[in-house]
């Protein structure tokens, strides 16, 4: 909603912060434009992502697949398109976290190289889980998020840690409306039997103590 408001003017201080912020915004726009220009040429090389490089995309998929794994009950975060969700969000509303992801994924890739001598493709589930477990346990100061620029991070209003950031975004990608690129074929909603976007629930539907069957629906279907 704040985007409906013009940049503030007023005291010199305001103007300075505004100019700084405008410059930041321009840079982001420029970067996004650049992505868009070579998007077609590089799509295959990048694994279809706009923001993540191919290597980053692979690593993100591996992580997402461990946070919400595919199992006998059904598909997991990878199949649900959670990484596509994050990729799109980072190219738009979550642009402020671009650098956090870059730094984090670089850090993780480096660790994998050092410890296992290869890329994420060479790791088994146990090794991946260990890596994620360590990330979750990292002390504040060691967290790749510490000290990164970004207004919300500066204010201490961002995610608690990079693990928290990634887990939250993966779960958003699992449970969001499919219009955001995640929850593909309602994979996330099917897992928990949530029918999604509906205008109406009847008394009969509300007063059963059994799972409810109602068609899975996106806001785009309304």
Residues that bind other proteins (CB under 8 A): 1-2, 4-11, 13-14, 17, 66-69, 71, 73, 76, 93, 129, 132, 151-152, 155-157, 167, 171-172, 175-177, 179-180, 188-189, 191-194, 197-203, 205-212, 219, 222
CB of 42 to other proteins, least distance (A): 28
CB of 30 to other proteins, least distance (A): 23
Output 117 or 141, the one with its CB closest to other proteins.
141
Output 112 or 170, the one with its CB closest to other proteins.
170
Output 117 or 211, the one with its CB closest to other proteins.
211
In the chain, DSSP finds a helix count (H) and a strand count (E) of 11, 0
Radius of gyration of the chain (CA): 20
Q: Encode burial over 37-69: b for 16+ CB neighbours within 10 A, e otherwise.
A: eeeeebeeebbebbbbeebbbbbbbbbbbbbbe
Q: Is 185 left (phi over 0), alpha (psi -120 to 50) or beta?
A: left
Output 105 or 132, the one with its CB closest to other proteins.
132
* CA-closest candidate to residue 163, choices 202, 190, 136: 136
CB of 200 to other proteins, least distance (A): 5
CB of 121 to other proteins, least distance (A): 20
Which residues neighbour 184 within 8 Å (Cβ) at sequence distance 6 or greater?
Answer: 79, 80, 81, 84, 178
CB of 34 to other proteins, least distance (A): 26
The tokens of 72 are what? Answer: 């006998």
Output 113 or 152, the one with its CB closest to other proteins.
152
């Amino acid at each position: 909603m704040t985007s409906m408001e013009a940049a503030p003017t007023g005291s010199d201080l305001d103007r300075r912060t505004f100019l700084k912020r405008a410059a930041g915004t321009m840079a982001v726009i420029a970067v996004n434009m650049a992505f868009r220009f070579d998007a077609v040429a590089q799509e295959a090389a990048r694994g279809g992502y706009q923001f993540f490089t191919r290597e980053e995309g692979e690593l993100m998929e591996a992580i997402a697949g461990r946070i919400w794994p595919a199992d006998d009950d059904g598909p997991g975060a990878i199949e649900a398109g959670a990484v596509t969700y994050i990729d799109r969000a980072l190219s738009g509303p979550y642009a402020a976290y671009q650098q956090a992801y870059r730094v984090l994924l670089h850090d993780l890739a480096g660790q994998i190289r050092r410890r296992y001598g290869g890329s994420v493709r060479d790791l088994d589930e146990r090794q991946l889980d260990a890596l994620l477990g360590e990330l979750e346990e990292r002390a504040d100061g060691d967290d790749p998020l510490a000290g990164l620029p970004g207004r919300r991070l500066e204010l201490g209003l961002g995610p608690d840690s990079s693990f928290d950031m990634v887990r939250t975004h993966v779960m958003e990608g699992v449970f969001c409306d499919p219009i955001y690129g995640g929850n593909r074929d309602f994979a996330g909603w099917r897992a928990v039997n949530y029918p999604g976007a509906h205008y109406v629930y009847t008394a009969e539907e509300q007063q059963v103590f059994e799972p409810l069957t109602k068609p899975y629906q996106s806001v785009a279907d309304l």
